[in-house]
Amino acid sequence: MNVPSENNSPAMKRVLALLAKKSDMSACDISQEAFVGMTTLACGGYLKALREKRLVHVSGWRRTNKGFVTPLFSLGNQPDLSRPKFSDEDRDSAGMNRIVAMLEQMGPLTYLEAAQATGLSSNTIKNARHMDILAKQKRIHIAAWRRNRAGPMIAVYAAGPGKPAEKPAPLSRAEKCRRSREKKMAIFEDRGFAAQLARF
C-alpha cells in the first residue's frame, strides 16, 4: 500500500496539526475534525504509517456504544497503551439495553421473541451471547423453559435478577412416542369434527 509521506500529504499534515492541539482522539474524532475520510485513516493506512514512524501513539481506549473499545491517538513517540481486557460483566451495548427494556415492557420472552420485539437479528443475539451475558450481569434471568416445535427446550427470559429456572430433563423415547401419538390423535379428532360440521 502506497501511503504518502507526512511532508507531502495535506491530509497527514492536518492530522498531525490536530493532534498537536488535542490528545486522546479516536479515528472517528480525527476524521471529523481534520477532514480526512475514515477509509483513508484506517483502511488507507495513514494512522498505521504515522504510528510506525513514531509520530503518533495509542494513548488510551474508549468504550463504544456497541460494547467494544476503540483506540485513542495522541502525538509523540510514546509506547502504545495496551488494549484493556474486559470480561462479560463489563460488556454493554445499545442492543443489550433494548432487550432488557423490551423484557421490562412485554414480560418474559425467548431470545427469538426478543429478536422479533427489538428488531435485532436472532443470529446477532445468539452469536454475540447477549442473553448469556445479560444473565451473568443479573440484568435478566431464565424464568422458565419452553419446548419449541422441534422438540428441544428453549429458555424464557425475564427482566431483573432472579433464581434461574431449572432446565427440565429431556423427554425419554417413550414420552416422545406418546407425545407423537397424542398429536396425531388431536389432528385426527379435529378432522373428524370438521367433517361432522360439514354435514350441517
% the chain with pLDDT above 70 = 80
Secondary structure element (H or E) that encloses residue 156, with its range: strand 153-159
Task: Show the CA angle centred on residue 156, arms to residues 186 and 152, nearest 5°.
Answer: 50
Backbone dihedral angles phi then psi of residue 147, each to the nearest 5 degrees: -85, 125
Give the pLDDT of residue 99.
94
Highest averaged pLDDT of the listed ranges 60-64, 143-147, 169-173, 184-188: 143-147
Give this prediction's pTM. Answer: 0.52
Alpha helices in the chain (DSSP H): 10-21, 27-34, 38, 46-52, 94-106, 111-118, 122-127, 130-136, 173-199
pLDDT tens-place string over residues 159-169: 999 999 998 87
Q: What is the pLDDT of residue 186?
A: 61
pLDDT at 34: 93
Q: Which three cell numbers stand for residue 199?
A: 354435514
Cβ neighbors of 81 (< 8 A, separation 6 or more) are: 57, 58, 59, 60, 61
CA–CA dist 132, 36 (Å, integer): 39
User: Rounded distance, CA 179 to CA 151, Å?
Assistant: 10
Residue 44 reports pLDDT greater than 60: yes
